[in-house]
Amino acid sequence: MIKNFVNAAMIAFSAGIILSSCSENEDQMPSEGNSNARLFATASEGSSGSSNSRVIVNGFSSTEFTVATADMELRYAAKADIQAGINLGNITLKTNVNSSLQTSAAQTKSLTIIANGDSRAALVAEGETPEGNYAEAEFKLKKNTTVASSDPKFNKSMWIKGQVNNTEAIVWSETEKTIRAMAEASSGVEVEGQSEMVLDFDMTKLFAGVDFSLAVDGNADGKIEIGPNGVDGNTLLYSRIMSNIDSAVTLKKRN
């Protein structure tokens, strides 16, 4: 009788483990038609397309780049439309609003995409999102209120620190504006199963046409500032950078 009791207990225990394992697997699997996805942001030197590398463009050696984002959503062509052979350009894009990936991405984020002179991948959001080919991401540059008020990045939507001719230099903005990042590939970024995407801030495009040899330290405080309201007398450089940012961000598949 004791042996039968032990056997029954062992069977019940084993069944419990199996059910628990199945439950955990179900929790990890996305619902039908969805993908478990992660979205990152990074900075690159354009043609190199690589992260984790020193970023030097037009004589500006970047040591830190922090950007604040909010209200982000992604647009995609449904998997069924792609499988039906419809060209991406002829498909009415859907939005991933109300997916858990979008809910997370929509929150205000402070993303450091260059640190200590090296580009890095900063996690923007993770969660479920519909399967399909993702063609664009739209987000707002947002004043950074997630850092302490004593932090120099406070209320800055973009903050890039570096050096120009061995002089400390800072590019910064308080501008809040909407950015549309189009997919690098004409077919978009395929999202299926476990997927990762990245918003690539192309520093070559951001600094295109910017001659940093013209940057000046107008108030002679030992630091070159390129920002709004003519700070340090670098208005033209600032205007060029801000006009470039609209086309400097691209949505890519993360390798």
pLDDT in tens, 230-251: 999 999 999 999 999 999 999 9
Helix (H, G, I), strand (E, B) or coil at 51: coil
Question: Is the pLDDT assigned to residue 219 strictly greater than 60?
Answer: yes
What contacts 72, CB < 8 A, 6 or more positions away?
102, 105, 106, 124, 125, 137, 138, 139, 140
Q: Which of 78-87, 156-165, 192-201, 205-214 has the lowest mean pLDDT?
A: 78-87
Q: pTM of the prediction?
A: 0.85
| Amino acid letter, 173 | S
pLDDT at position 87: 85
In whole angstroms, give the CA distance from residue 43 to residue 172.
16
The residue ranges of every structural domain in the chain are 1-30, 36-253
In this prediction, residue 29 has a pLDDT band, given cuts at 50, 70 and 90, of low
